[in-house]
Structures are given as C-alpha cells and as structure tokens.
Amino acid sequence: MKNRIQSIQQYDFNPLQMLNDIKNRILPGTVSKINDQKSKQDNKTDLAEILFVTSYPPRECGIATYSQDLIKALNIKFSNALSLKVCALESGETNYSYPAEVKYVLKTSIAAGYNKMAVQINNDTLIKTVVIQHEFGFYHKQEQAFLEFVYNLTKPVVIVFHTVLPHPDDKLKLNVKNIAAVCESLVVMTHTSADILIKEYGVAEGKISVIAHGTHLVPSISKKSLKLKYKLLDRKVLTTFGLLGSGKGIETTIEALPAIVKASPEVMFLVIGKTHPEVVKEEGEKYREMLEQKVKDYSLQDHVRFVNSYLPLPELLEYLQLTDIYVFTTNDPNQAVSGTFVYAMSCGCPIISTPIPHAKELLTKDTGIIFDFRDSKQLADSVIKLLRNDKLLKNMSINTLQKIVSTSWENSAIAHALIFEKITDDKILTQFNIPAINLDHLKHMTTQTGIIQFAKINRPDIKTGYTLDDNARALVATCMYFAQTGDRKILTEIKKYLRFIGFCQQPEGDFLNYVDKELRFTSQNKAVNLDDSNGRAIWALGYLVTISNLLPAGIVKQAETMIEKASPYLEKITSTRAMAFAIKGLCYYQHTNKSDSNLSLIETFANRLVQMYKHESGKGWEWFESYLTYANSTLPEALLHAWKLTGNKEYKRIAIASFNFLLTQTFNERGIEVISNRSWQQKGMKAEQFGEQPIDVAYTILALSEFYDELKDKTYLQKMERAFNWFLGDNRLHQIVYNPSTGGCYDGLEETHANLNQGAESTVSYLMARLTVQKYRKAAGAGNI
C-alpha cells in the first residue's frame, strides 16, 4: 500500500487526504491477514487464488463472455496451481444465478459497495492477485468510487483495458495515469492501445503487456455440410454477430446489399445476435426494427436472415465456419478491439472491416479488406471482389487461420499466467496440466490403408499418400497406448499399421517408404536413401513384440516374420540413425526371441556407433558425427539399450557422455529448443534457431525416460517434464503446439508462429511423448510428472 501511495503522489494526485483516510481505515485490519496469506502460500496444499473483477455470465455482455472464456482456458491449463474466482459486476436490479466460481458480487451503481468489496478482498487470505476487467461503461456512474476501490486494494492488481481512448482530455488522462500507478500490470489487446498509453497517457512501457483477444480452437468442419444443416446450401453467406446496438453499423451492409445481390443473387446476410440488454433498457427494439424495415424497403427479405438469439458457442462457431465473408461495420473509430471478428478469423473467415485499430493491426491484403466508416459502396465493391474470386477467398481463409492461431485462449492463458508469476515475484508458480489422451485426430488421419502423411490444418490430405515412417511410428504409439490402457478398440489401428508395414516390405526383406493414395510405390523411393525408414520399421516391429503377452498371437507372428525376413538386409545398412533405430528394435526382439545372429547384429551396429564417437568426439564435442541433425537422441538411447542387453560398459559410458552433451545443446533457460530443421548444427558452430519439430522433442522424451529408468538421475525426469511442456506452451514463443480441440499436433514451431498443419508425424510424436510421461504421472499420483 505504501508503494501505491508514493506512485500516486508522483503524479500530483489531488485527493491525497482521501488516500490517507483509506490507509488509516483499511491497513490496520489487514496486516495480520497479509501475514496469514504468506503462511498459507507456503502451504503447498493451497492453490493460489486469482480473483477476476468482471461482468460474468449469465449476464449477456461481451466482456462477460471474454472473462468466462479466459477463466475456462486458465483452468484447463493450470488448475493444479491456480484457483480462479470471480467478483461479478452487476449494473442494475437484476439478481443473476451465477456458477460456482462467482465468489462475490459488486453492484456498480452503488458507491458504498466499492469500499466494502475492497475490505472483503483484502481480508480474504486466499486471494493472491486481483484481475480487473476495465471498460469505461462499467463504472461511469461511480467513477470516483471505482478509483477508490482500486486504491484500497492491498493485493497485486492487474488491470485489463478493453478500451483505450486516444486524445484524452486532462480528466481522463489523470484517471488512467492514476489507475496505472496503483496496479502492478496493465494488459491491452493491441499494440495500438499500448502505444496510446505510452505516448498519450505517459504510462511506463515496462508495465504494459499486449495479450491479444483470445480465440477458440475450432476443428475444421466441411462448409458444405454446415450450410446443409442450416438450410443455406448454394448460398454465399455474409455474416455479422454480436449484441445489437446502433453503433454496430449493420445498416451499412443492408444498404450495400442491393449492389451485392445484383452481382451475386445467391447471397444471404446473417445478422446473429439479440439486442444488447442495456440498449433494450434505454430504447427497446428500436434499432432492430429500423433494420428490419430497411430490409423491407430494399426488398431484401430473401437475402437477410436475423438470428435474434444469444447463441451457444458451438452453434455460433458453426455459423462462422459456414460463412464465406465476415462483415464488421462498427461506426466507432475508438473501438480498440473486437472479439467478434477475431472469433470469425478463428473459423477461417475472410474479413471486411471498418478501420478500427484492431482491424488495422490484424488485417492485411492476404487476410481481409478494410473500408471506410458508413461507406456502403466501398463495402459492396469489396464483397463483390471477393465473391468473384474463389481462389482469393480460399487463400484468405487459410491465411486468416494462420494469422490468428497465436491468439488462442490457451495461449492467452499462458500469457496471463506469466504475468501472475512476474508480479508476485514467483510466489505464484504455474504448473501445466497434462491433457487427457485424445486419439481423435490419429483416427481421423487413418484410413483402411494406414495413416495419411500430411494434413491441411486438421483435414487429412489424401493426395500426399502414406509413408512407412509414419505408419511405423503410429504402430509404436498405438502399442504403447494398448499396453497402458488395455483398450482393445485400438487393435483395429494396430492391425492397419502393421499391415501397411508388411505391404512396404519387399521380397528381399527391405522396405520401401513412399506410397501414393492409389497404393502405388512412388519414384521418390528411388531418389532417397531408405535406410532410416528400414531402421524405423524394425524399431516398430520390435516394440510390438515386447508386448506379445498382451496381443493376439497372429499379430505378434506377423511382426516376428517381418523381422526375420529383414535381418539379412539389415546387415547392409550404414546410416547412423538407421543403425540406432535398428538396435532399439532388435534389442526389443532379443528379449523375447533370443538369437546369436540377432545379438551379433546388435553388437555390430553398437560397435560402429562407438567407433564413430571415438573418431568425432573431443573437447566440447562429445558426439558421433561432426554435426547434429534430426532424431539425435536416438543414438545415445540405442547404445543404452545395447548396454542393457550385453553389459558392455563402454556402450554405457558413451551413451551417458553423448546424451548429456546433447542435452547441453538443446536445453536452455527457456526450456528445450531442439535442432532446427532449417539447417543442421555443425561442430564448433552456433545452432540456428527456429524450425523446431515435434518429432525431435518426442524422441528426446523417449530417451530421457530410458535414461531415467536405468540411472535414476532425477535431472532426466525434470528435463522430461520441461520437454513435454514444450507441447503445452512452455517454449520460445509461449504458444501451444498440441491442439487439444482436435487431438492433433502442429507441424512445427517457426520463428513467429506455429505451423497450423497437423500431419501424421507431429501428431504421432505428441502421442508417443504423452504416453511416455503417463507412467511417471501415475507414479507421482498428481497432475504433473
């Protein structure tokens, strides 16, 4: 509190006596509570409580929905570390029936309630941080009471400004500066808003965080099927949504429709949303009735549909996914942000918008079009331009999804959690929840033949065909899943992947890798070295045999037959990683099918790796090659397997030395950053950044598990947890790589964004990593490893 008063004084805030009164009134009764708070925080069984001061459903309000979505995301990501509660704001006499997370209610029109609420919050020892959602309309009747409320609070405060007005008068500027002075952190949703706070209000840049308005992860559904469902088949759909009021500018679109319909008679304009409750109080349905009359005046009844409802989220997202163009027509140039058009972007809608700051930041020629306020002709021309160019519309849809992916609610939750840690000096330490195992995307990618190689977003791209590599990895993952769960339904997929591997095996025992959608081997099989693919096949087959006691005998026999048939060919392979994968598979096989020739082949490969290590390693470079490429962790892991089987101590020594060296190259203060797929790391050179692949993180986790199980070094266990959290957002970009909505995994982490495509390799890699950490989760008896 002392620091807050000093901060206010530096701005020459006039009502200093009021603050002194507040200090005398509030502080004496809170000192013991603050001490209690510290002792409770030290108790590991208590979760850190974050209180959100905000409007909240069932109140129908954009910020209410925003807060509910944010809290839901924070719970999904961090419920093992945070307890999230709400102080719900009410503007009138309505008494809502709130969900369980609502702990307090504040009537914003009653001045005395603000001070009483501050006392309650200060005396609540569970609350560690207060997050206030700020919109000027919330507090306009009691501005002074609100300011006093903020000054009263003795807990760390985060203020989220939903509107930042440019060109402030002296009163507004002083109010905002004083709010900023007494909070630990300010959140805005656009860089434009941040610049205004810095340049026009004089707020310190270091106090401001830009966290974009959150968006939903939406599994891609066929536009045609959705249009059929909502009786819009063969229509070109324009959509706008939100609580209606005169500032929405929907009449601009209606005035543009005659020209649009003349060019595209199949157009339908959807106006989704009921009238804003506050507008209804002031003027009833006057605005909606005006719009309906305008539709009649222009004879557009067959081209405009009003959906007069506050739609449930799943239904709203379906409407947005069937939309061809989203139209945003607000008349307010000072509207800082719009949740409606970012929701539309998350559904792949090309956007046509008036030039609010949010639109200027997000929209480019590749994602949408900006037109002038109230200019129906510009709007009509823009819509006609897009409707006449299907290729442009399709490209805009893809670009829009890529542009908006970083703003998912999951990423917003991570950004907020980092603020909570920072402003409490790490007294709040967040822990990522481990997502439930989800096989939906794996099964979605799998046909009767096997798993398809690539996906466009989350839709399988059958034109890319199949690979032995992906089906071998999928076989490992599904065998891991079956061994852990006993779920016999997965046997269907196990049989498919095994059958595909058998299809790829040639009469001489070797395997081809690339198969097109017509099940023909492609010319690519002749253009590239297939040793690595052969090694992976042996790894997968050997792993299957290790759970032979759980599987039907016929499946096990098929795998054993393939390994025996491949053995003569394996002797010819010399590729480093091919030998490593083969060692793993042959070691698995040797445990159940002991063979001198098999053991000899394992030792041959292991000895080659030893010789490579001795040739290349030296001071500062304890590795098998003069470079680090892909699947690096498989090499030391293979030698560890060979040591376990043979007892050769040299294998163990080199396995540990090389693996520990690799970990120094891939872990840093930010967590794990695997070798970039843009270029390999050469000996004596600094690694290139970006282009991080899920498969290399997964292979690292597999190796860390193996090393921990054998050596019981907890450092490996800690790194395993950190590596797995890479998928969940603990990475260089603080963005999720695993998509919990689909069960798929993004194809990589690029310089500024995740690659949205969710192909077989990345999805199966995540699943292997997730199943690997599962056994440690069970052993710990908790939500984290």
Does the pLDDT value for residue 39 go beyond 60? Answer: no
Does the pLDDT value for residue 113 go beyond 70? Answer: yes
Q: Residues 646-674: what's their mean pLDDT?
A: 96
What's the pLDDT band for 778 if we cut at 50, 70, 90? Answer: low
| Torsion angle defined by CA atoms of residues 646, 648, 650 and 653, in that order, rounded to the nearest 10 degrees | 70
What's the pLDDT band for 3 if we cut at 50, 70, 90? Answer: very low
| Torsion angle defined by CA atoms of residues 65, 68, 72 and 73, in that order, rounded to the nearest 10 degrees | 60
Q: What distance in Å separates the CA atoms of residue 662 and residue 678, rounded to the nearest whole number?
A: 18
Does the pLDDT value for residue 41 go beyond 60? Answer: no
pLDDT in tens, 209-231: 999 999 999 887 889 999 999 99
Does the pLDDT value for residue 663 go beyond 70? Answer: yes
Tokens of 556: 């096990």
Q: Is the pTM of this model over 0.85?
A: yes
What's the pLDDT band for 777 if we cut at 50, 70, 90? Answer: confident
What are the helix (H) ranges across 154-234? Answer: 170-182, 191-201, 223-229
What's the pLDDT band for 780 if we cut at 50, 70, 90? Answer: low
Per DSSP, the three-state class of 437 is coil
Tokens of 621: 């470079």
Nearest to 409 by CA among 216, 218, 132, 220: 216
What's the pLDDT band for 94 if we cut at 50, 70, 90? Answer: confident
- In order, the DSSP letters of 675-714 are PPSSSPEETTSPPPPS-B-HHHHHHHHHHHHHHHHHH--H
Q: Residues 671-678: what's their mean pLDDT?
A: 89
Cα 7 to the center of its chain, rounded Å:
37
What is the model's pLDDT at position 25?
Answer: 35
Mean pLDDT of the chain: 90
What's the pLDDT band for 8 if we cut at 50, 70, 90? Answer: very low
Q: What distance in Å separates the CA atoms of residue 705 and residue 414, rounded to the nearest whole number?
A: 26
What is the model's pLDDT at position 43?
Answer: 42
Does the pLDDT value for residue 624 go beyond 90? Answer: yes
What is the model's pLDDT at position 23?
Answer: 36
What is the model's pLDDT at position 32?
Answer: 27
Tokens of 648: 């050769």
Rg of the chain, C-alpha, whole Å: 30
Nearest to 92 by CA among 126, 133, 128, 61: 61
What is the model's pLDDT at position 333?
Answer: 86
What is the model's pLDDT at position 336?
Answer: 72
Q: Are 639 and 632 in contact (CB under 8 A)?
A: no
Does the pLDDT value for residue 785 go beyond 70? Answer: no
Q: Residues 110-114: what's their mean pLDDT?
A: 93
What's the pLDDT band for 783 if we cut at 50, 70, 90? Answer: very low
Tokens of 521: 């081997």
Higher pLDDT, 431 or 324: 324
Q: Are 547 and 526 in contact (CB under 8 A)?
A: no
Per DSSP, the three-state class of 88 is strand
Q: Are 98 and 56 in contact (CB under 8 A)?
A: yes
Task: Fill in the amino acid letter for 623.
Answer: W
Tokens of 325: 């163009």
270: Cβ–Cβ under 8 A, 6 or more apart, which residues?
237, 238, 239, 240, 241, 305, 307, 319, 323
pLDDT in tens, 330-388: 998 887 778 888 899 999 999 999 998 888 888 989 999 999 999 999 999 999 999 99
Other C-beta atoms within 10 Å of 668: how many? 10
Per DSSP, the three-state class of 644 is helix
Nearest to 218 by CA among 86, 311, 143, 322: 322
CA 438-440-443 angle, to 5 degrees, is: 125
| Cβ neighbourhood burial of 53 (10 Å; 0-12, 13-18, 19+) | buried
Q: Helix 62-78 and helix 409-423: axis angle, to 10°?
A: 80
- Residue 408 sits at φ, ψ, to 5 deg, of -55, 155
Q: Are 66 and 339 in contact (CB under 8 A)?
A: yes
